[in-house]
């Protein structure tokens, strides 16, 4: 009995270029999906001070609400990632976005801190799988060596949320109250669902076997033996997987803490107004976009030209993490608000490069048939930092001499962790090496299956 192994590259022989217009149309919709996802996260930061005034909340309670978002975030991310190996990702994205819209309404009916907490937990559970599914949906349209820039586009959803959505939400909240922000996010989620029904489609590099609805698989493909999958433990214990996780763990923690705390940092720590803080919310993300787009575009081109995209991504990521971590670690040295903001912008922008780079690295080392589950588990583990970081900032701010001192200490701790992550990235991550190791282990599994079939 012969065994069928899912190739790690294009399923269509000779196809080296993804479809043009359709690929970028789907990618654009997925980026919008990611932007909505991060806008939901940003909303708590926008309404934090109005909520604190109305409900009499402390900084620790606000931080706890921010962390509550991540209570089920990682669990749901890993579970839905496993489903992504069996079902079409486009339907998973549709269901997730619809749930985001629905979960916004309870806080409007009963505006209490308990309801807010429960809604944030539920929203986190529904948004936990978003990044892995969005990344998988986009990677279905691009070959592994060209996934850096598309991954940066998906990752930039967090930046778009802070640059464009957050200021708009700040204006809405100032003009119509904090409840209006939740209404806006519900409506936007439902509008995206309607548009996705028209545009969403699986890409040519998808490896989906069990699909909802009428089958689109040919009879020849249906008669193929079951796909042999790599033992997931081999993937999770590979040096590149571990190194990529260490590279991005603290980075995601900073992103999660910032989405909750940057408006309060600017308002309570640096003395800016609520509207100014909401508008300035996106400034660190401007640098993030510049660094992510520039670095991933360049590494994709260099890697495609020289055939070493993985190592180029590692060196680039290491450099940006070391610089970004060192800059953030020095933040307590500065007291002038304008300088603090400038330093925060630089450090945040540099560290953000690691997120799309390491997503692309994971896609390089795993078989295509296990991309969704591998991304789901990778991001679920990474997202644990989102459970820790917002609450940590809240505790540090509440126990500091001044809010500014608490925020500065928080980012100093984050900076040191990011610096260490950069060093470990260089030491551990080598996509070409680990892709070859995992490919050989998959081939060994094939040989065992063939021997078993022959014996039977």
pLDDT string in tens for the chain (456-residue length)? 333 333 334 444 344 454 578 889 999 999 999 999 989 887 887 887 787 787 777 777 777 777 777 788 778 878 887 787 778 889 999 999 999 999 988 877 776 778 888 888 898 899 888 888 998 899 888 887 788 888 888 988 878 887 888 888 888 988 888 889 999 999 999 999 999 999 988 888 776 444 343 334 444 444 445 566 788 899 999 999 999 999 999 999 998 888 778 888 998 889 888 778 877 877 888 889 899 988 888 888 776 665 567 788 899 999 999 999 999 999 999 888 999 999 999 999 999 999 999 998 998 898 878 888 898 899 889 988 988 888 899 889 989 999 889 999 999 999 999 999 999 999 999 999 999 999 888 888 777 777 666 555
How far CA 350 is from CA of 151, 202, 213, in Å, comes to 16, 33, 44
In a domain, 207, yes or no: no
Helix (H) or strand (E) holding 58, with range, is: none
How far CA 287 is from CA of 26, 88, 164, 167, 352, in Å, comes to 25, 34, 14, 17, 9
For residue 228, list its beta bridge partners.
5
Which tokens is 220 given?
Answer: 């020849």
Report CA dihedral (227, 228, 231, 232) to the nearest 10 degrees: -10
Instruction: Report pLDDT for 15.
Output: 44
In a domain, 13, yes or no: no
In a domain, 12, yes or no: no
Number of domains making up the chain: 1
Instruction: Answer whether 342's CB lies under 8 Å from 328's CB.
Output: no
Between CA 63 and CA 242 the distance in angstroms is 28
351: containing domain: 21-200+220-455
* Alpha-carbon torsion (285, 286, 289, 292), positive or negative: negative
Beta carbons within 10 angstroms of residue 15's beta carbon: 13
In a domain, 424, yes or no: yes
Q: Which residues contact 217 (CB under 8 A, 6 or more apart)?
A: 209, 211
Between CA 297 and CA 333 the distance in angstroms is 34
In a domain, 15, yes or no: no
In a domain, 4, yes or no: no
In a domain, 428, yes or no: yes
Give the domain CATH number at 188.
1.20.1250.20
Instruction: Report pLDDT for 342.
Output: 93
In a domain, 209, yes or no: no
Instruction: Report pLDDT for 328.
Output: 96
**Predicted structure pTM score:** 0.74
CA 44, 50, 51 angle in degrees (round to 5)? 60
């Amino acid at each position: 009995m012969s065994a069928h192994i899912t190739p790690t590259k294009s399923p269509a022989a000779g196809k080296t270029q993804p479809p043009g217009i359709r690929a970028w149309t789907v990618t654009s919709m997925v980026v919008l999906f990611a932007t909505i996802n991060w806008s939901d996260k940003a909303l708590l930061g926008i309404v934090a001070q109005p909520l604190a005034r109305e409900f009499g909340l402390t900084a620790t309670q606000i931080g706890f609400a921010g962390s509550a978002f991540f209570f089920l975030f990682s669990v749901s991310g890993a579970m839905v990632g496993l489903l992504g190996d069996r079902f079409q990702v486009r339907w998973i994205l549709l269901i997730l976005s619809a749930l985001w819209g629905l979960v916004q309404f309870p806080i409007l009916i009963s505006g209490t801190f308990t309801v807010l907490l429960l809604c944030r937990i539920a929203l986190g559970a529904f948004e936990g799988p978003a990044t892995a599914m969005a990344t998988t949906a986009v990677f279905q349209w691009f070959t592994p060596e060209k996934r850096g820039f598309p991954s940066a586009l998906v990752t930039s959803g967090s930046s778009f949320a802070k640059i464009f959505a957050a200021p708009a939400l700040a204006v809405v909240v100032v003009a119509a109250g904090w409840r209006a922000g939740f209404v806006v996010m519900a409506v936007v989620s439902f509008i995206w669902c309607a548009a996705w029904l028209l545009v969403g489609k699986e890409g040519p590099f998808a490896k989906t076997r069990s699909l909802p609805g009428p089958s689109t698989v040919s009879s020849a493909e249906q008669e193929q033996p079951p796909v042999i999958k790599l033992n997931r433990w081999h993937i999770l214990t590979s040096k590149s997987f571990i190194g990529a996780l260490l590279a991005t763990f603290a980075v995601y923690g900073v992103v999660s803490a910032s989405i909750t705390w940057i408006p309060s940092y600017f308002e309570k720590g640096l003395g800016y107004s609520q509207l100014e803080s909401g508008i300035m919310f996106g400034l660190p993300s401007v640098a993030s976009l510049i660094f992510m787009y520039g670095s991933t575009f360049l590494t994709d081109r260099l890697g495609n030209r020289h055939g070493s995209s993985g190592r180029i991504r590692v060196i680039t990521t290491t450099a940006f993490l070391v610089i970004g971590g060192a800059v953030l670690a020095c933040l307590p040295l500065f007291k002038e608000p304008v300088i603090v903001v400038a330093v925060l912008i630089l450090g945040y922008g540099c560290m953000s490069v690691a997120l799309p780079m390491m997503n692309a690295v994971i896609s390089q080392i795993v078989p295509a048939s296990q991309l969704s589950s591998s991304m789901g588990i990778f991001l679920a583990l990474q997202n644990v930092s989102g459970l820790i970081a917002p609450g940590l900032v809240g505790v540090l701010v509440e126990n500091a001499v001044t809010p500014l001192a608490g925020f500065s200490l928080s980012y100093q701790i984050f900076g040191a962790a990011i610096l260490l992550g950069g060093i470990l990235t260089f030491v551990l991550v080598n996509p070409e090496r680990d892709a070859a190791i995992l490919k050989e282990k998959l081939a060994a599994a094939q040989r065992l299956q063939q021997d078993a079939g022959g014996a039977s």
